[in-house]
Amino acid sequence: MSDSGGYVSTGEFKRDASYIPDRITKDGRRPEHGPVEGDLWPVEPGRYRLVAAKACPWATRAIIVRQLLGLEDVISLGTPGPTHDERSWTFDLDPGGVDPVLGIERIQQAYLARFPDYPKGITVPVVVDVPTGQVVTNDFPWITHDLFFEWREHQRADAPDLWPADLREEMEEVMQRVYTEVNNGVYRCGFAGSQEAYDAAYDRLWTALDWLEDRLSTRRYLMGDAITEADVRLWTTLARFDAVYHGHFKCNRQKLTELPNLWGYARELYAIPAFGDNTDFEQIKKHYYVVHKDLNPTQIVPDGPDPAVWLEPHGRS
């Protein structure tokens, strides 16, 4: 995702949350969960390419879920570099600056191949139809949802149950609060356009983080003893908290390392390959400190914090 949004009259940051609403489902069926406002595409191994920058928290969710479910050989992965301009993310990490599967330099090209007059921001994650080179969807919450529900027959045998039926109702409530108050809450602080808006955003964020700190005092993961989609969604904000949000977004009441339950929980997740392998602190820092020139006009990228702290024993069981 790019940090697209605007301000209401009070100076509060408001995210533009409308995306291409297409879904990829088994046999192109009508999905059992969620709305259908766009086209339906069939599940086909090898047909689609997930394009997701490791710098972006919203995109990293999809990379993690793809690996947790063992879909690496079923859906290929393209990874743009950590910075982008007004046009779009670019494949500057690939030889010649070209995605080796799609043959494009900018993910914008896949958007325009389908929508020549696409009027909105060019965001990641995005799923691209490889045969046509056209964008399918960038609706990030439904991308990870459908990787679990619609691609089941292609998942590895021991894939985790990321959406347990008996916890789903409560999990939806937890994820909604995590999204509005934490995932988006840090942005609401960072891009506040007035002191009043910042103060309100800061209070909302820390109310939610205190709730999470308390919740994790009595359970291993957000929903109990096993990892769920809720943990994936919280993780990407926690991973960026001390490196970016604490200072760059002024979320500085405490560091993550000063919150015992959240810090232990975060280190336990980091030790899981799907989480740790896809967390690149250098890309994360470069993205925020270089792209957000309004917040960091010098574009200087800080050297710290030391990532070695993530390797310390988490002491949780």
- Domain boundaries defined on the chain: 5-154, 165-311
206: pLDDT strictly greater than 90: yes
Residue 153: pLDDT band (50, 70, 90) is very high
The residues, any chain, with a CB within 8 Å of residue 210's CB and separated by 6 or more, are none
pLDDT at 33 over 80: yes
Q: What is the mean pLDDT of the chain?
A: 95
**pLDDT, mean of residues 76-87:** 95
What values do phi and psi take at 31, rounded to 5? -70, 150
Percent of the chain with pLDDT over 70: 97
**Residues in Cβ contact with 153 at an 8 Å cutoff, skipping those fewer than 6 apart:** 26
Please name the CATH architecture into which domain 165-311 falls.
Answer: Up-down Bundle (1.20)
Tell me the CB-side half-sphere exposure of residue 224, using CA atoms within 13 A. Answer: 11
Look at residue 15 in the predicted model and tell me its pLDDT. 73
pLDDT at 2 over 80: no
Residue 30: pLDDT band with limits 50, 70, 90? very high
Active site residue 111: no
Mean pLDDT on 180-209: 98
Strand partners, 6: 14
pLDDT of residue 249: 98
Q: For residue 252, which amino acid is it?
A: N
221-258 CB burial, b ≥16 within 10 A, e <16:
bbbeeebbbbbbbbbbbbbbbbbbbbbbbbbeebebbe
CB atoms closer than 10 angstroms to residue 219:
12
Q: What is the pLDDT of residue 14?
A: 81
Task: Quote the pLDDT of residue 136.
Answer: 98
56 included as an active-site residue: yes
Distance CA 99, CA 112 (A): 16
Please report the pLDDT score of residue 13 as a whole number: 85
Which tens digits make up the pLDDT trace of 171-186? 999 999 999 999 999 9
Q: Is the pLDDT at 75 greater than 80, yes or no?
A: yes
Per-residue confidence (pLDDT) for residue 8, from 0 to 100: 54
Residue 3 has pLDDT above 90, yes or no: no
pLDDT band at 1 (very low <50, low <70, confident <90, very high): low
Q: Are 71 and 151 in contact (CB under 8 A)?
A: yes
Q: What is the pLDDT of residue 17?
A: 74
Q: Which fold has domain 5-154?
A: Glutaredoxin (3.40.30)
Token reading at 301:
């990228």
> Which residue would you say has higher pLDDT here, 175 or 17?
175
Q: What is the pLDDT of residues 106-140, one digit of tens each?
A: 999 999 999 999 999 999 999 999 999 999 999 99
* pLDDT recorded at residue 6: 57
310 CB-contact burial (10 Å; exposed 0-12 / middle 13-18 / buried 19+):
buried
* Predicted local confidence at residue 160, as pLDDT: 98
Look at 231 and 5; give whichever has higher pLDDT. 231
How do 40-42 and 23-25 pair as beta strands? Answer: parallel
| Single-letter residue type at 144 | T
The catalytic residue among 19, 48, 111, 187 is: 187
pLDDT digits (tens, 9 = 90+) for 295-316: 999 999 999 999 999 999 998 8
Closest CA to 185 of 253, 94, 99: 253
What tokens were used for 103? 């043959």
Candidate list 56, 111, 202, 221, residue with the active-site label: 56
